[in-house]
Chains A and B, each alone.
Chain A
Amino acid sequence: MTIDKNIIETLKEKVNEYGSIIHNDSGQNENISKILIEWINEIDEGKKDIPTEKIISGLLEQIKIK
């Protein structure tokens, strides 16, 4: 992995932080982090056909708003 570890660590922290706003439990936070990190890596690999629609739908499914 060549993404700066500061970005990955910050991403995980911020997802947890925002988790309280979107009323997620820790499992959902982990899922959101995983989806985002995978997405960043796919961009880094220069992948042409990234399924962004599927990724975003997956992310939105993890979010609950009161």
Chain B
Amino acid sequence: MSEIIELKISGWSYNGFKTPNIEVKIEDPNGKRAFTLFQMLSGEGKTTTLNLLRYSFYDVNKHLTKGEINNIISSYRPDDITINKGIFQVRFVLNNNINYRINLKFDYQSNEISYSTVQGDGDGILPGLILPENLQQFITPEFINKTFFDLELADDLYNAQSQETDKTIKKLSKLDYLDKITKNFESYKQEYIKTKIKVKDSDLSGKIRDKEILTKKLEKLKIKADNKKREKNNIIKEITEIDSIIKKISLENKDIKNKVKDAKNNLEEKNEKLRDAFYNSYNFIKNPMSINNKIRTELFEFENNLTKKRIPKAVGESFFEDLRDSESCLCGHSMTEEMKKKIWENKSLFLEDDILNILNPIKSSIKKFDNNENLDSSKCFDSLIINEREARMAKNAFEQANQNTDDEYFNAQSKKLANLERDLKELNHWIDEVYNKPYSVHEPHDTDNIKTIQHRLEKLEKEIDEKADVVDLSKKIKILTEMIKDIQKTSLERISNLIIQNINKEVKRVMPLEEIYVESIKNKITLKTKDGITRAGNGGASRGQMVRIAYLFLITLLDRPHLKFPLIVDSPVTALDTIGRTEIAKSLAKDFSGQYIGFIFDTERADFSNILEKELNNEINLITAFSKSEASSHMIKLAEEHDVNTNEFENGVVGYNKDFFNKFKGANENN
């Protein structure tokens, strides 16, 4: 009978990574302290630690490609190129009595990651990753990625493509044992048939060989399809991310374009005002009355006299005729013929239309001159200077706005999106039109159509069964296999329904203001409202709601009676409001019986760490780690004030003091 497996991490250390070279100890007095909060600042190695812990429980060389391993190595390598290796060690205790140490060695020169294991308290180091035997059946990258979880990336649980939920439930509920049984049925039949083959029956041998080849092809094809589906899933994720970047840029561009438009309108308005100011100044300068008082007075007098001397033409004609014909002038002197002639000639000065046409505008202009307005020369020229400056500023603003419309990044993203959409189309075509399309007798020999291959296999199997005279046995094996698959399917449904019930029981408490329930966890989490309205994927649910449901799912899923494995969560409450934080802390303390390690920022303490402390009666490790730098002097000072040994490590500090943990802040308020 198998025992309960309990694994507790007791610490880890880093040497030769971007993180400071420090050692972290997880205290567990009397084997009863299960909760730890590990506080680090952003960019100091929280996510690196999470990933290094993940890689400590499955061999990356067996699960990742060479390219992926190279990327990991280069992203963790410190800036100091003289450092040519990094060693991460994780320590854990199995069932409270056997100590294990797993060492991960990053060789920065050969770009390789290697493992060594120390079991027990001896010094014997074994090469490779050697996990406890009874644990090996659970440990897969999928399982570790759930138990060592990044809540910022909770989206995978809501994604049908990855089918993450079913895989994990099957693994944790031991439903995968049934897969082993069905495989044994098939092997039994094959071995039985081999015993029935007569030496010279080459036809049967040939069919068996064909079946083996086709079976291998089917297995390879299924792996190929899984890879294609995973690739599709990744592309969809990437498309979603790029799509959101493009939308953001478009929105910003729209804003920029509006700004350019506004700047252009402003520039035009200022230029118009400047033109007006120039016009006014020119008018001012060209009018002599504006700039000289004497001229102005004389012109006023001139206009006045012209008005006074004005003689209507009709009257004037007869007046000048009478004067010409009279013997004496108006002044009483007798008029000579010459005088009469001169008077007649000069009458046009007073009576001609063209002269009137010239004089009248001059008179009008003089009369219209407004003393109060046009005489303010300083106002006129000041306006010119102000408007010129404003126009210049408007021009600068316009040029500045124009510079911000650089579309290079936007174009690169759009191009990337188009490529990804093309790749997605090709993948969809392969999955739908090649792999999954209905059986056809016309498919080529090397087809990738699974239904055709399965059909060919069934046909071959039938022929082999008949030829080997094992039809009866084959029928029995088939029924047993179908029954086992049915048991697996129904059990999975029942266990999933129980998990759903357990999650939904907690919803009212964890989300009192917005009751969102889990409708299904088949392949992915589907949500519904209190009224039963389905919310496919994350549609309609807020990020905070999704995170809280994901938390409840993980707590319920991982709290198995036979397995107590650590739940490590990076950024555990980042997306949660105060109610969410408080209630998740209460749920964890109340419902999770395994080890919990939360990697938090200083800003995540509020409404979370204090609640955990209270709910756990202070039975919690509150650890703070930071790297030493010029910017950390206030943190070092605070650490020293709380008796934290700041000299233990050369380039980092680890503090276990709870007051220090609660007062720790990255930002220096004295600056």
Known: A2-B562, A46-B133, A53-B188. A60 touches B473 (CB 8 A): yes
The reply to whether A60 and B487 contact each other, CB–CB distance below 8 Å, is no
The reply to whether A44 and B173 contact each other, CB–CB distance below 8 Å, is no
Report B-chain residues with C-beta under 8 Å of the C-beta of A41.
1-2
Specify which of A7, A14, A53 is in contact with B173 (CB 8 Å cutoff): A7
Known: A4-B174, A46-B133, A52-B188. A10 touches B1 (CB 8 A): no
What's the minimum C-beta distance from B106 to chain A, rounded to whole angstroms? 32
Report A-chain residues with C-beta under 8 Å of the C-beta of B472.
65
| Contacts A7-B174, A43-B180, A60-B477 known; 13 new A-B pairs at CB < 8 A | A4-B491, A6-B494, A7-B491, A14-B486, A14-B490, A22-B476, A40-B178, A41-B1, A44-B1, A44-B2, A45-B1, A52-B184, A65-B472
Who on chain B is nearest to A2 by CB?
B562
Classify the secondary structure of B's interface with A.
Answer: helix
Report A-chain residues with C-beta under 8 Å of the C-beta of B1.
1-2, 41, 44-45
The reply to whether A44 and B174 contact each other, CB–CB distance below 8 Å, is yes
Counting CB contacts under 8 A, is B181 at the interface?
yes
Specify which of B177, B178, B185, B479 is in contact with A56 (CB 8 Å cutoff): B185
The reply to whether B480 and A43 contact each other, CB–CB distance below 8 Å, is no
Could you tell me the distance between the alpha carbons of A2 and B134 in the complex, rounded to whole angstroms?
Answer: 13
Give the size of the chain A interface in residues (CB under 8 angstroms).
29
The reply to whether A11 and B180 contact each other, CB–CB distance below 8 Å, is no
Could you tell me the distance between the alpha carbons of A21 and B534 in the complex, rounded to whole angstroms?
Answer: 38
In the complex, the 7 A-B pairs of residues with the closest C-beta atoms, listed nearest first? A2-B562, A10-B491, A6-B494, A7-B491, A56-B188, A18-B483, A44-B2
Could you tell me the distance between the alpha carbons of A6 and B487 in the complex, rounded to whole angstroms?
Answer: 10
Known: A46-B133, A60-B473. A39 touches B181 (CB 8 A): yes
For this complex, 24 residue pairs linking A to B, each with C-beta atoms less than 8 Å apart, are: A2-B561, A2-B562, A3-B174, A4-B491, A4-B495, A6-B494, A7-B174, A7-B487, A10-B490, A10-B491, A10-B494, A11-B491, A14-B486, A14-B487, A18-B483, A21-B479, A36-B181, A43-B181, A44-B2, A52-B188, A56-B184, A59-B480, A60-B476, A65-B476
Who on chain B is nearest to A19 by CB?
B483
The reply to whether A45 and B2 contact each other, CB–CB distance below 8 Å, is yes
Interface residues in chain A, defined as those with a beta carbon under 8 Å from any beta carbon in chain B: 1-4, 6-7, 10-11, 13-15, 18, 21-22, 36, 39-41, 43-46, 52-53, 56, 59-60, 63, 65
Classify the secondary structure of A's interface with B.
Answer: helix
Report B-chain residues with C-beta under 8 Å of the C-beta of A11.
487, 491
Could you tell me the distance between the alpha carbons of A62 and B417 in the complex, rounded to whole angstroms?
Answer: 60
**In chain B, residues 170-214, which have Cβ atoms closer than 8 Å to a Cβ of chain A?**
173-175, 177-178, 180-181, 184-185, 187-188, 191
Could you tell me the distance between the alpha carbons of A7 and B493 in the complex, rounded to whole angstroms?
Answer: 10
Report A-chain residues with C-beta under 8 Å of the C-beta of B561.
2
The reply to whether B173 and A22 contact each other, CB–CB distance below 8 Å, is no
What's the minimum C-beta distance from A15 to chain B, rounded to whole angstroms? 7
Produce 1/0 per residue, B1-25, CB < 8 A to A: 1101000000000000000000000
What's the minimum C-beta distance from A4 to chain B, rounded to whole angstroms? 5
What's the minimum C-beta distance from A16 to chain B, rounded to whole angstroms? 11
Report B-chain residues with C-beta under 8 Å of the C-beta of A18.
479, 482-483, 486
What's the minimum C-beta distance from A34 to chain B, rounded to whole angstroms? 14
Who on chain B is nearest to A22 by CB?
B479
Counting CB contacts under 8 A, is B248 at the interface?
no
Counting CB contacts under 8 A, is B223 at the interface?
no
What's the minimum C-beta distance from B130 to chain A, rounded to whole angstroms? 15
Specify which of A4, A53, A63 is in contact with B476 (CB 8 Å cutoff): A63
Counting CB contacts under 8 A, is B313 at the interface?
no
Who on chain A is nearest to B177 by CB?
A43
Known: A14-B483, A41-B1, A53-B188. A6 touches B174 (CB 8 A): no
The reply to whether A2 and B175 contact each other, CB–CB distance below 8 Å, is no
Most chain B C-beta atoms within 10 Å of own C-beta, residue among A10, A13, A40: A10
Report A-chain residues with C-beta under 8 Å of the C-beta of B490.
10, 13-14
Report A-chain residues with C-beta under 8 Å of the C-beta of B495.
4, 6-7
Most chain B C-beta atoms within 10 Å of own C-beta, residue among A14, A36, A40: A14
Could you tell me the distance between the alpha carbons of A59 and B134 in the complex, rounded to whole angstroms?
Answer: 28
What's the minimum C-beta distance from B503 to chain A, rounded to whole angstroms? 17
Report A-chain residues with C-beta under 8 Å of the C-beta of B188.
52-53, 56
Could you tell me the distance between the alpha carbons of A39 and B187 in the complex, rounded to whole angstroms?
Answer: 16
Report A-chain residues with C-beta under 8 Å of the C-beta of B477.
60
Counting CB contacts under 8 A, is B606 at the interface?
no
Report A-chain residues with C-beta under 8 Å of the C-beta of B181.
36, 39-40, 43
Report B-chain residues with C-beta under 8 Å of the C-beta of A22.
476, 479
**In chain B, residues 455-509, which have Cβ atoms closer than 8 Å to a Cβ of chain A?**
472-473, 475-477, 479-480, 482-484, 486-487, 490-491, 494-495, 498
Could you tell me the distance between the alpha carbons of A53 and B185 in the complex, rounded to whole angstroms?
Answer: 9
Could you tell me the distance between the alpha carbons of A6 and B496 in the complex, rounded to whole angstroms?
Answer: 10
Report A-chain residues with C-beta under 8 Å of the C-beta of B2.
2, 41, 44-46
Report A-chain residues with C-beta under 8 Å of the C-beta of B473.
60
Could you tell me the distance between the alpha carbons of A41 and B1 in the complex, rounded to whole angstroms?
Answer: 7
Could you tell me the distance between the alpha carbons of A25 and B498 in the complex, rounded to whole angstroms?
Answer: 32
The reply to whether A15 and B4 contact each other, CB–CB distance below 8 Å, is no
Could you tell me the distance between the alpha carbons of A9 and B472 in the complex, rounded to whole angstroms?
Answer: 29
Could you tell me the distance between the alpha carbons of A6 and B191 in the complex, rounded to whole angstroms?
Answer: 33
**In chain B, residues 96-138, which have Cβ atoms closer than 8 Å to a Cβ of chain A?**
133-134, 137
Report B-chain residues with C-beta under 8 Å of the C-beta of A7.
173-175, 487, 491, 495
Could you tell me the distance between the alpha carbons of A39 and B185 in the complex, rounded to whole angstroms?
Answer: 13
What's the minimum C-beta distance from A60 to chain B, rounded to whole angstroms? 5
The reply to whether A6 and B483 contact each other, CB–CB distance below 8 Å, is no
Report B-chain residues with C-beta under 8 Å of the C-beta of A3.
174, 177
Most chain A C-beta atoms within 10 Å of own C-beta, residue among B173, B477, B487: B487
What's the minimum C-beta distance from B270 to chain A, rounded to whole angstroms? 78
